Chains A and B, each alone.
Chain A
């Protein structure tokens, strides 16, 4: 059951200090604001090298008023496991451990430690902020890069493969809670993190994270692009609690009314898709449709 928080019931404390190193219009920055508002002070963040690492700042100053532990690229879920184990052993069970990780540290190099931590049902929240490439180092492709996207390592031919389906992979671990959120819908994001905080075991939250320089759109359109993603169904807002799927927020409305926009409306607004072929677009549309229909069935709609 979701608590009905509206904008004025959101925790009004800001945990991220102004003058930080995130880009203008950064989708992660917006998402992180609400993640921390939801999780509050009693939180320790584990993070790998990533945009988040840069947002946190360079020595000797940091931009975030929450304790955070940096670790190497492959190990964020293991790092979080270590924090969880220590807090349990030291009898400090009320601190939430959040592993906030980019798509590189989730889909690619970090997948082993994530899978291990999930298989052990480690009591933490693993949140992937998915900007769909290695953005911190200048937009190299990852397993999360969608088909047809230009990146610096798919610079001429575009990414040939479909995006890896990490939700299915995480579901296969049998964890108690999965969710998909977007900073374009901050209240939905906030509510899910508030809920996740209270659940025990491994919680996986996927954050669609628009990135102006990496995706190729004007910086002021981050929320607009995020909303288009949901309108087209390439991003779906949902929760899966103990295997039970339900749409939330705007995705729920779209599912009920049955009006999803074709993904071309999303793709045409981003420079990274300018070399996308019709065939790739069709493949993308098919995979979105198939997944949407599967979700409709699971939601009994």
Chain B
């Protein structure tokens, strides 16, 4: 790849990970208890407040709910707002998953 920058002004291109792997930011990560998760137990589109409130949009609106741990900053808002408390924030070094 050429090492030449043709830009004559600061023109940025969208890319994932502008700040790197932000999953590294926290030593906490969210763990979902699938037996409590409302859309999963109902088997249909419901709740998804974790998707709604994630500031980084790394929670998928899918069944089962998935969280992109490469970029999850570990803020814990999903855990805080989950109505049945199906999400816990656990220390990465303590967790098996």
Report A-B touching, CB under 8 Å.
Answer: yes
- Chain A residues with CB below 8 A from B17, complex form: 17-19
Number of A-B contacts (CB under 8 A): 115
Q: Any chain B CB within 8 A of the CB of A157?
A: no
Interface of B is mostly: loop
Which of A16, A19, A221 makes the CB contact (< 8 A) with B19? Answer: A19
Which of B7, B61, B68 makes the CB contact (< 8 A) with A18? Answer: B68
Known contacts A19-B16, A19-B17; A7/B56 CB under 8 A: no
CB of B56 within 8 A of CB of A22, answer: yes
- Chain A residues with CB below 8 A from B26, complex form: 24
Instruction: Tally chain A residues at the interface, Cβ within 8 Å.
Output: 40
CB of B56 within 8 A of CB of A62, answer: no
Q: Any chain A CB within 8 A of the CB of B10?
A: yes
CB of B18 within 8 A of CB of A224, answer: no
Known contacts A12-B61, A220-B76, A221-B80; A58/B18 CB under 8 A: yes
Q: Any chain B CB within 8 A of the CB of A161?
A: no
Name the residue on B nearest A224 (C-beta). Answer: B80
* Minimum CB–CB distance for B40 against chain A, Å: 16
- Chain A residues with CB below 8 A from B18, complex form: 17, 19-21, 57-58, 61-63
Per-position contact with A for B65-90: 1 when CB-CB < 8 Å, else 0?
Answer: 00010110111110111000000010
CB of B19 within 8 A of CB of A60, answer: no
Complex CA–CA separation, A61 to B11 (angstroms): 8
Per-position contact with A for B1-27: 1 when CB-CB < 8 Å, else 0?
Answer: 000010100111111111111100110
Complex CA–CA separation, A25 to B74 (angstroms): 8
CB of A18 within 8 A of CB of B80, answer: no
Which of B13, B45, B70, B77 makes the CB contact (< 8 A) with A222? Answer: B77
Per-position contact with B for A53-77: 1 when CB-CB < 8 Å, else 0?
Answer: 0001111111111000010000000
Given contacts A17-B17, A26-B55, 16 further A-B contacts (CB under 8 A): A7-B52, A8-B45, A17-B15, A18-B17, A18-B58, A19-B18, A20-B56, A24-B75, A25-B73, A33-B57, A59-B10, A62-B14, A63-B19, A70-B10, A218-B76, A223-B81
Interface residues of A (CB under 8 A from B): 7-8, 12, 14, 16-27, 29-30, 33, 56-65, 70, 183, 186-187, 218-224
Interface residues of B (CB under 8 A from A): 5, 7, 10-22, 25-26, 45, 48, 52-58, 61, 68, 70-71, 73-77, 79-81, 89
